[in-house]
Structure 1
Amino acid sequence: MTILGVPSFGKGGLNSNLNPRFGRCTAFTFVTVEDGDIKEVKTVPNGAANAMGGAGIQAAQTIGNNGATAVIIGALGPNASQALNSLNVDIYQAPGQQVTVKEAVEKFINGELQKIAGANVGSHYGMGGGIGGGRGGGMGGGGGGGMGRRRNF
């Protein structure tokens, strides 16, 4: 028996798309596979999705807390990889194209997914670009009502 943890979009489930961002996915779909058949499906929200930092490590803890013995991932950073390895969770690379959780699990059952040893992207890969600093909200810029230029209207 294998319990797969699959990062998912939305609320998760077999018909949800696999989310390539492990630590920043919105939910995990846990699929129990036994004798080549899907026996049970459970979804769990990813509490780390909006974390300021350490999302991959927190997501790996969610995987471990739900008894997963393997994950199917798109992108996995070094910290999450170390955390999963310390939990003895096998890591499988998801297909390159967008697939549903069910399609990814079927590829796992059929032996079509490659087992990988660890991280396949750098740290902070899943972080959004954000607005960044320096958007011009300062106090300068003139336009004041100084007394230097009096006009008669």
Structure 2
Amino acid sequence: MAVNEIRLSRLLRTSKMDDSENTTSFDDRSEAYSEVSARDCLAEGIIGLLLPTVEQIDERVKSTRISQLELRQHIDTLAEDLRALSEKQQIPYDLDSYVKKLVNAKRRVVLVNSILQNTQERLNRINQSITRENERRTALLEPQVSTPSEGQ
């Protein structure tokens, strides 16, 4: 709503030209305004579409990483228990193959965790970039709105 009000006030100020300015100048201003306005609207729309998705993915990556850390701890505990059980047993059970499978599963979990961490870092950088771009655009829009009113 506020963005539309800003655009409307800009359009009204642009239409209140001095008598000394010619029609070509007004046309140039309105074309430049419509290009900037269309670009800003498109950027805001894209950001509006992507930001919730990025935030949702970020939350899911965080929860997945937490689950993987818990899984890795359980795998470590289970591997230690199996080794201890294997050493204490009178009858030799062949648990080494199971321990190796658990170690391999742990290795895969660590690898996926690393990939998820890199993905989360990328998403955080994208989110920060979007935030900076929004702030930059807002800063660019606000001085343009206040500057013409100071001259009147």
What TM-score does the superposition give when structure 2 sets the normalisation length? 0.25
Structure number with bigger Rg:
2
Structure having the larger proportion of residues in helix: 2
What TM-score does the superposition give when structure 1 sets the normalisation length? 0.24
Structure having the larger proportion of residues in strand: 1
Query: Does 1 or 2 have the higher relative contact order (CA < 8 Å, sep 6+)?
Result: 2
